[in-house]
Amino acid sequence: MKPYYQDDAVTIYHGEALGLVPLLPLFDAIVTDPPYSTGGMYRGDRMQSTVAKYVSSDTAAPRQEFTGDNRDQRSYLAWVTLWMTAALQRAKAGSVACLFTDWRQLPTTTDALQAGGWIWRGVAVWDKTLKARPAAGQFTSQAEYIAWGTCGPTEVRQLGYQIPGVFRAPAPDNADRDHITQKPLEVMRWVMDAIAPGGLVVDPFMGSGTTLVAAKESGRRAIGIEIEERYCEIAATRCSQEVLGLAL
Amino acid sequence: MKPYYQDDAVTIYHGEALGLVPLLPLFDAIVTDPPYSTGGMYRGDRMQSTVAKYVSSDTAAPRQEFTGDNRDQRSYLAWVTLWMTAALQRAKAGSVACLFTDWRQLPTTTDALQAGGWIWRGVAVWDKTLKARPAAGQFTSQAEYIAWGTCGPTEVRQLGYQIPGVFRAPAPDNADRDHITQKPLEVMRWVMDAIAPGGLVVDPFMGSGTTLVAAKESGRRAIGIEIEERYCEIAATRCSQEVLGLAL
DNA sequence: TGTAGGTATGAATCCGACT
DNA sequence: AAGTCGGATTCATACCTAC
């Protein structure tokens, strides 16, 4: 396993999550935003070869109606369960898992979390604030969700402050994004609060590496896995800039 | 079917939801906050009385129990599906369903919504703000959720403004509540925005009747069903005060 | 009317003791 | 043993009281 990039806090592997997760060192947290598209990403019935492209919930045109054909959702469940099961084997006791999801995949994601052997502890909300597409007479879909849980009993930490369960931060503008589903750094900083300082954070679907930057910046270590080399490059650049104190 | 209370906008029936829903006139929306049967990781915790589960141990003011809050998850799914199926039979095309739930029952609730034949359209978030019970080193559980959907295709309405998908409002103070789980009126006003003006709103688990007050106040009609007579009385009082313009 | 300080409490959760 | 029960604990926030 040769890293694509490495510094004292961050390691990036260029490769496929399902294959690489079992080879990771023991870690303290898995924080990730898997591709949760609802169509066209599964080739054949081999779920192992799934990660092909990222689709943003932001870019979807009008919402598809629920048709009763759960094929994609079932595959998604199986696939998430696979790598969460693998992750559990490499997780220290008390480790935290944070899985980003949209409203449509939230029930599937909590199922997969539990099917993978993790204890589901709750749902946190990223409120993207209202500026999204207009929807006539319907609740605006302005939130993403984090299904979170632990490996075994919770590790009790006295922080002296409460970690909000709802976090408000606008999504980055198109121009400021390297990746179509890129999260604002503030959101990832918020998530880091739920993880013990100094711990090792794993993101098997790294994308442009916001998780790694937030982890490093907040005194944690991180490992990122990404199948597309161009994102490995972007993330490596962001992490090394962070080294020099240039980020943000 | 003899009403417990009736005025020109509001009707209250004292009785049991499963039996009464099939007898209702055709309606435009079902908005309700069923007993979540939640309150704890462990079965034992969930089987406690509602006061033991939901009221802080050091709370001075006495609180009233409410019933129907001890189902396990399987039963909860079956039960919600039952009355949502019945409701669909009395729902006009394009009707809206809004089911309140907490994080733990959210996946079960969206399953039940769909199992009952409704089309799941999204999740709205009531952010209770950080005035919530803290949990050391964990995301605060400060939100409740609304699983919402429609009976058939959405009825397109031009509102001229967007309905937020995340709504911030602190839970009412202990002293200002008649029911342990009473919602703030503002929250119900927000929900009413998703329902056509003048429409008939049904709440089969009325409690202290906030849904009815919000419906009436916003120019809609409402039917409430409640199994405990004490809450029928409270709701009737609130609705009649609203008639006289005394509420709020 | 304003400001500062004290107090009560939340649709929890955890854990140990007891039946 | 598995199931029940009860007490301790967390802190941001709204509200009340006192100056």
B138: chain A residues, CB-CB within 8 Å: 121-122, 154, 163, 194
* Residue found by looking up tokens 């969206």 in the block: B110
pLDDT at A142: 95
CA distance A201 to A90: 12
Closest residue (Cα, C1') to D10: B134
Average pLDDT over residues B94-118: 97
User: In 3-state terms, what secondary structure has residue B89?
Assistant: helix
Mean pLDDT over each residue of chain B, to the nearest integer: 92
Band the pLDDT of A243: cuts 50, 70, 90.
Answer: low
CB A88 within 8 A of CB A48: no
Give the count of alpha carbons within 13 A of A31, CB side only. 28
Chain B within 8 Å of A189 (Cβ-Cβ)? no
Q: Based on the number of CB atoms within 10 Å of its own CB, is A55 exposed (0-12), middle (13-18) or buried (19 or more)?
A: middle
C-beta atoms of A130 and B154 within 8 A: no
User: How far is CA A167 from each of CA B141, B208, B218, rounded to the nearest angstrom?
Assistant: 12, 31, 30
- Least confident stretch, A71-80, A103-112, B22-31, B196-205: A71-80
CA distance A185 to A172: 9
* Selected residue of B138, B140, B159, B161 to mutate for chain A interface (largest A Cβ count, 10 A): B138
Q: Which nucleotide is nearest to B103 (CA to C1')?
A: C11
The model's pTM is: 0.92
Query: Is a pLDDT exceeding 60 seen at residue A219?
Result: yes
Among B139, B146, B162, the residue with its CB nearest the CB of A122 is B139
pLDDT at A66: 40
CB B58 within 8 A of CB B122: no
CA distance A11 to A86: 19
C-beta atoms of B139 and A165 within 8 A: yes
Q: Which residue ranges make up each domain of chain A?
A: 5-234
Closest residue (Cα, C1') to D8: B57
pLDDT at A40: 39
* Selected residue of A57, A119, A138 to mutate for chain B interface (largest B Cβ count, 10 A): A138
Q: What is the CATH number of domain A5-234?
A: 3.40.50.150
> Is B49 within 7 A of strand D by CB distance?
no
Chain B within 8 Å of A77 (Cβ-Cβ)? no
What pLDDT digit, counting tens, does each position of A27-84 carry? 999 999 999 765 433 434 333 333 333 333 333 333 334 434 556 889 999 999 999 9
Residues with CB under 7 A from strand C: A 121-122, 153-154, 156; B 33-36, 38-42, 44-45, 53-61, 69, 100, 102, 104, 128, 131-135, 141, 144, 171, 173-175, 180-181
User: In 3-state terms, what secondary structure has residue B239?
Assistant: helix
Query: Is a pLDDT exceeding 60 seen at residue A122?
Result: yes
C-beta atoms of B142 and A165 within 8 A: yes
A141: chain B residues, CB-CB within 8 Å: 122, 165
Query: Is a pLDDT exceeding 50 seen at residue A108?
Result: yes
What pLDDT digit, counting tens, does each position of B217-227 carry? 999 999 999 99
Which segments of chain B does DSSP mark as H helices, in order? 17-20, 43-46, 50-54, 73-89, 106-115, 185-192, 210-217, 229-243
C-beta atoms of B164 and A139 within 8 A: yes
Q: Which nucleotide is nearest to B142 (CA to C1')?
A: C10
Q: Between the CA of B192 and the C1' of C6, what is the distance in angstroms?
A: 39
Q: Which nucleotides of D are covered by protein (CB under 7 A)?
A: 3-15
User: In 3-state terms, what secondary structure has residue B163?
Assistant: strand
